[in-house]
Amino acid sequence: MSISGNTRVLCVIGDPVAHSLSPRIHNAFLAESGLDYVYLAFQVKAGDLGRFIHAVQVLGIKGFNVTMPHKEWIVPFLDDMTEQVRRCGAVNTVAVKDGRLVGHNTDGAGFLRALALGGIVPVGMKVLILGRGGAAKTVALALADNGANVLMAARNMTLPPLDAQIEPVLWEEIGGIVGACDMVVNATPLGMPGQDFSDFSFVDGLPEHAYVVDLVYHPSQTTLLRRGHDRGLQVMNGLRHLVCQGALSFEFFTEITPSLTLVDGLIRDLSS
């Protein structure tokens, strides 16, 4: 990569963000595209979000991804947003078009693309989503829109209404309902370093054909996935989803679609 005075910046913001694989993914997309851009990671604390938005305009940043804890907090700063963002209230991609900040969310479509690469069709599946954050909501809506029967559970709280197609359940009820589920998707931070599930007994209640999917990608094999694997269940970590939603984000930034060969190669490299 050659950096010059004409090089433009794309980035990801979050707190923490040092562990992010997005720079590796997007700089690979940029290398393939030949664009004179660089993709960086910026740690932005909660109270500094407004200052970052000002910096976007001052520095001419062309687009940025948004991760925890900013996915919902970024919404008031946007000039426009997609219908998907209006439905879920969360953003993971902001494209800067003619100085206007346009919010997108590629989590749902990226998740469906990741499932498709694994040969998984969600139509008719009963899927339990663990979590109530931005990624959880977007994935739940995408699955419901594509024919899945979706349930959502959150820790220590009830879920606000999200969509008529999505059934909220109490965290304490998980053990009693997983026996009828075809897939469980962890969309909480549980599994990341320093925090994990206190009880994995619900994994033992899943049917033998069920999938266990974790959107956490650091570490690449969480305790939840190990428990699922030990039971002989089919498991998928968050790396495939990360690359697929990143490819969609890159399209919004640049109007260029990364090649499937590169996407597949990144998934293999990051999983090794």
Query: Would you state the structure tokens that stand for residue 26, as one six-digit string?
Result: 């997007």
> Which whole number is the average pLDDT over 232-259?
97
**Hey, what are 228's tokens?**
């699922």
Residue 73: pLDDT band with limits 50, 70, 90: very high
Do 61 and 11 meet the contact criterion of CB atoms below 8 Å apart?
yes
Written as six digits, the tokens of 252 are 């919004």
Which whole number is the average pLDDT over 158-173? 82
What's the pLDDT score for residue 248? Answer: 98
In this prediction, residue 27 carries a pLDDT of: 98
Of 118, 176, 183, give the one whose Cα is nearest residue 149: 183
Query: H/E element holding 186?
Result: strand 183-186
Per-residue pLDDT at 128 exceeds 90: yes
pLDDT at res. 159: 67
Query: What is the mean predicted confidence (pLDDT) over 184-201?
Result: 92
Extract the tokens encoding 127.
Answer: 């899927």
Q: DSSP code of 192? A: B
Q: For strand 100-104 and strand 93-97, is the pairing parallel, antiparallel, or unpaired?
A: antiparallel
Q: Contact at 8 Å (CB) between 91 and 252?
A: no
- Give the pLDDT of residue 164: 74
Decide if 216 contacts 187 (C-beta within 8 A).
Answer: no
Average the pLDDT over 205-224 and give the result.
Answer: 95
Q: Is the pLDDT of residue 99 over 70?
A: yes
- What's the CA gap between 115 and 238, in Å, rounded? 11
Cα of 94 vs its chain's centroid, Å: 14
**Interacting residues of 106 by C-beta distance below 8 A, sequence separation 6+:** 92, 93, 245, 246, 248, 249, 252
Predicted confidence at residue 2, as pLDDT, reads 82
* Identity at 44, one-letter amino acid code: V
- Residue reference for tokens 């993914």: 25
Q: Could you tell me if 184 and 211 are in contact, meaning their C-beta atoms sit under 8 angstroms apart?
A: yes
71 is annotated as an active-site residue: yes
**Catalytic residue selected from 45, 62, 71, 137:** 71
Q: For the chain, how many helices (H) and strands (E)?
A: 10, 12
CA 42 to chain centroid: 18
Task: Tell me what pLDDT residue 237 has.
Answer: 93
Among 178, 185, 190, 129, CA closest to 154: 129
Can you name the residues that pair with 9 across neighbouring β-strands?
38
Return the SS3 of 191: coil
pLDDT of residue 218: 85
